[in-house]
Amino acid sequence: MDSLSSPRKRQGHGVKRGACSESGRKNGSGGGGESRQQLTKVLLNVNIQNSFGAVQVVMSAGNTVGELTKAAIGIYVKEKRRPLLGSSDPECYELHYSQFSLESLKAEEKLMELGSRNFFLCPKPGCAVNSSYSSEPRIVAKSPFISTKFTNFLL
């Protein structure tokens, strides 16, 4: 008789424990999937045109694209990365999803609405940021011996 009563006690005890854990999940104290925690900070990678490696920025998900641009440029200048930026004004730069994306992101967009954590920062076309980005044509030195340019083709 004792052998029959002990399994029933174990089963009854197991049911109570399961019911208790289910009620804990419904209340949110059990760490179940129903209660979602909000992200407080996100790690974002910003590649700056002509630089090596991404600038890593930790920001709140509620911040805007303009704030991310300002923070990325600030970190780039603070770390003294090369090549040096011609201007540290965030208004002279645009943020894109990638270097192949033609459309820039709006400065007032929230980071949590973008759906990406990797971005590309490049200078605006109308802003003179660096001498290498200028639209002036380069002057090429002309050689007085034009035939020397063609001698490589003859060999």
The verdict on residue 3 lying in a domain is no
The verdict on residue 58 lying in a domain is yes
Q: Which domain holds residue 78?
A: 42-127
Q: What is the pLDDT of residues 1-26, one digit of tens each?
A: 555 554 444 444 444 444 444 444 44
Q: What is the tally of structural domains in the chain? A: 1
Q: What is the pLDDT of residues 121-140, one digit of tens each?
A: 999 988 865 544 444 444 44
Question: With DSSP H G I counted as helix, E B as strand and the rest as coil, what are the percentages for the chain, rounded to 5?
Answer: 35, 15, 50
The verdict on residue 104 lying in a domain is yes
The verdict on residue 133 lying in a domain is no
The verdict on residue 82 lying in a domain is yes
Average of per-residue pLDDT across 33-46: 80
Please tell me the predicted confidence (pLDDT) of residue 21.
40
The verdict on residue 132 lying in a domain is no
Q: Is the pTM of this model over 0.75?
A: no
CATH number of the domain residue 71 falls in: 3.10.20.90
CB 123 within 8 A of CB 80: no
The verdict on residue 138 lying in a domain is no
Mean pLDDT of the chain: 76
Binned at pLDDT 50, 70 and 90, residue 73 comes out as very high
